A and B are shown apart, each in its own frame.
Chain A
Amino acid sequence: MPNMQTDKTVMKEQAPEIRRTNWLEVACGYTSDEAVNEAQRCLHCRNMPCVNGCPVRVKIPDFIAHVAKGDFEGAYAVIRETNALPAVCGRVCPQESQCESKCVRGIKGESVAIGRLERFCADYCADKRPEPVRAEPKGKRVAVVGSGPSGLTCAADLAKRGYDVTVFEALHTAGGVLVYGIPEFRLPKSIVSDEVKELEKLGVKIMTDVVVGRTETVDELFENGYEAVFIGSGAGLPRFMGIPGEDGNGVYSANEFLTRINLMKAYRYDYATPIKHHRRVAVVGGGNVAMDAARCAARLGAEKVYIVYRRGENELPARREEVHHAKEEGIEFRLLTNPTKINTDENGNVCSVTCISMELGEPDASGRRRPVEIPGSEHDIDVDAVIIAVGTVPNPLIRMTTSGLDTNRHGCIVTAEDGVTTTKEGVYAGGDAVTGAATVILAMGAGREAAEKIDGYLSAK
């Protein structure tokens, strides 16, 4: 008889007033008992709607059945069959719009906490992983550009099939957005480095400090004996708004702000990279990136942090949980508000931001109601920093230096129907580099699909 408790088993969290002063993980994870209790809520539906909601099709009821019996290692093994980074996905996937949105238990209550269970299994098994078995070498080399979730997944799958894989990463640490973008309090960096170590155990070589397009071009990779290339270089080029005052001191792209904090650990005094401790901060945008930047600014000690977003509460693209956490931490939401000008003092430092109020008009091409300015509603918000989180686009370096690789007008790599085959022979691409900024799990799905295609291509060659 399943456990018919209507709500999810509660997961402990650090209290808002405490976590606002530290960088430790907010969500503490389930205990074994809590995990078993939650797992018993699953109905083991025969048609498995939850699996259809998962982009990499984790065998959800299967692994949950193992958890319900207390066999956590067995559960982890099931997850790992289709998901290379469960500890990451369990933490950052928008389950509310994926697997959990399809869960039958969600009709009359809360869905099964699939993400929390996935995370529990991965954490439980963190130090109990079996030595991976290395595949019979095929004697063929494949290069992977970028070590974000798409690149790591593609590399893992290819290594399991016996290819000799080298990952080239521009930064000094592997992980992509997982290390430079998503903060420690949502995704501890030790988890990412553990996953990278697993990959190395499979025989994947990771070369950091190599910028493809500068240190070596894609064409040169082929000349140097790589027979196929996967491009998972993400969409890391920040967009600015093009409003006056963006050159002021105290104006950052969210990427710069988050990179200083997460990759360079500027919040720690024993690291050399500087960061300003601002008093009042406006973060422009409403996605996960904006929430992360705002919550980081709060942890750096800002008295007041605003989210300035031109649409309304229902249109916020960030995960519900992140919005909720941000509000609990005292972040103030100025919705239906858009900056028009950043004002600076005589030293060039930001002193305020001029905003205009908006109202929602007719739906636009994206189906969302278009925000329209309300004339005469300009007002100033007193801040000493403005962090711009209005989106990113793919970096032009690879498209500028690779012959025969088509990109669209947004700078995204053009692919065939399958989503991963590019216009250049032997070159496959996936993740944000193809789709523009999206999600971790979609990037991983693309990495897996590309590995499959590369295997097919090289086997036929």
Chain B
Amino acid sequence: MFLVKENTVLNPNTVRMTVEAPMIARKAKPGQFVIIRGDEKGERIPLTISGYDAAGGTVTVIYQTVGASTLKLAEIPAGGYLCDIVGPLGRASELDGIKKAAVVGGGLGCAIAYPQAKYLHEHGASVDIIAGFRNKDIIILEDEMRAACENLVLLTDDGSNGHKGLVTDGLKALIDAGAKYDVVIVIGPPIMMKFVCRLTKEYGIKTVVSMNPIMIDGTGMCGGCRVSVGGEMKFACVDGPDFDGHLVDFDELMKRNRMYRDEEQHDCNLFREAKEREHNA
């Protein structure tokens, strides 16, 4: 059992959770993730480590409440317990030697990209962050991101805050204005990563993406997380989750992530119904 130190709602569907897990906190590096199982009957879900404190022995994740498991996770009060948290999993991002980087985050992807931006910034690289959100109500980590870069371009789809537009527009504008990036790191929904990669390919800029296929064990024993990279089969949980964005097959990722949609909808509705019944009683 692992003690939940905080589980704070950041906006209506985003929660930040800090868990006591000293062994993981000691080893975590940017780009790695944990697998969490909330309760005995729960499923194992992967979440990126968005912060870690080796001295305090805690790790922090930021997650979106999109289905039954994450909704249940959000119900655990501070002082409550998680059944399991295991990690740090995946390879750490390769960040050494980078001098100038663009870190592109889409929605919740910003929480996943933030540790990388912070690491680069702290290690003397020049970092631009391009962060995109659907609207201003769901902006997260604005202050933290601002502190981790030279230049934060905040965009919203509807223009309710920052610039109106998509992250691809923001990135293109910076490149066209003369920014010379060693690397573009992009994390967000597959469709967004796909379009950013299409753009950077035109400019011939190396691009790293973080893949988020469906996972079970996260240790390389099931192959549920397999993705195609340059025509080869890779297991995202051990070979990734970071991959060369110009080599990955995003359409396949999107197709595979839809696999359990019916089952998940069912589970999620059951959970919501039960909650409503409880509420009405």
The interface of chain A, by Cβ under 8 A from chain B, is: 170-172, 208-211, 214-216, 236-238, 240, 242, 246-247, 249, 252-253, 255-256, 259-260, 264-265, 270-276, 347-348, 395-397
Contact = CB atoms under 8 A, between A and B. Distances in A.
Contact of B88 (A215, A252, A274): A215
B86 A210 contact: yes
B87 interface: yes
A271 B263 contact: no
Contact of A247 (B85, B252, B258): B252
B224 to A, nearest CB: 5
Interface in B84-115: 84-89
A209 B85 contact: yes
B89 A214 contact: yes
Nearest to B224: A256
Interface in B66-85: 68-69, 83-85
Contacts of A236: 220-221
A436 to B, nearest CB: 15
- The dominant DSSP class at the A interface is loop
B22 to A, nearest CB: 11
Contacts of A265: 41
B216 interface: yes
Contact of B216 (A208, A247, A256): A256
A348 B238 contact: no
A240 B235 CA distance: 12
A368 to B, nearest CB: 26
A219 to B, nearest CB: 13
B126 interface: no
B233 A211 contact: no
Contact of B267 (A256, A272, A397): A272
Contacts, number: 110
A259 B87 contact: no
A276 B263 contact: yes
B57 interface: no
A170 B267 CA distance: 27
A216 B88 CA distance: 10
B107 to A, nearest CB: 24
Interface residues of B, number: 39
B9 interface: no
B177 interface: no
A264 B216 contact: yes
A214 B88 contact: yes
Interface string B36-80: 010001111000000000000000000000001100000000000
A170 B221 CA distance: 11
A259 B214 CA distance: 14
A395 B221 contact: yes
Contact of A172 (B86, B224, B228): B86
A170 B252 contact: no
Contacts of A259: 216-217, 221-222
Given A171-B217, A255-B221, A259-B222, A216 B23 contact: yes
Nearest to B24: A215
Contact of A256 (B37, B84, B89, B222): B222
Given A272-B43, A395-B221, 7 more contacts: A209-B84, A211-B89, A247-B228, A249-B258, A253-B222, A260-B216, A395-B238
B256 A247 contact: yes
B157 interface: no
B277 interface: no
A19 to B, nearest CB: 25
B83 A215 contact: no
B265 to A, nearest CB: 10
A341 to B, nearest CB: 16
A208 B226 CA distance: 25
Given A216-B27, A274-B264, A172 B83 contact: yes
B263 A275 contact: yes
B86 A211 contact: yes
A236 B37 CA distance: 21
A252 B83 CA distance: 27
B85 A253 contact: no
Given A348-B256, A397-B238, A264 B43 contact: yes
Contact of B223 (A172, A256, A271, A273): A256
Contact of B41 (A216, A256, A270, A396): A270
B255 interface: yes
A429 B224 CA distance: 28
Interface in B102-153: none
B259 interface: yes
B219 interface: yes
A142 to B, nearest CB: 19
Contact of B27 (A208, A215, A271, A348): A215
A252 to B, nearest CB: 8
Contacts of A348: 252, 255-256
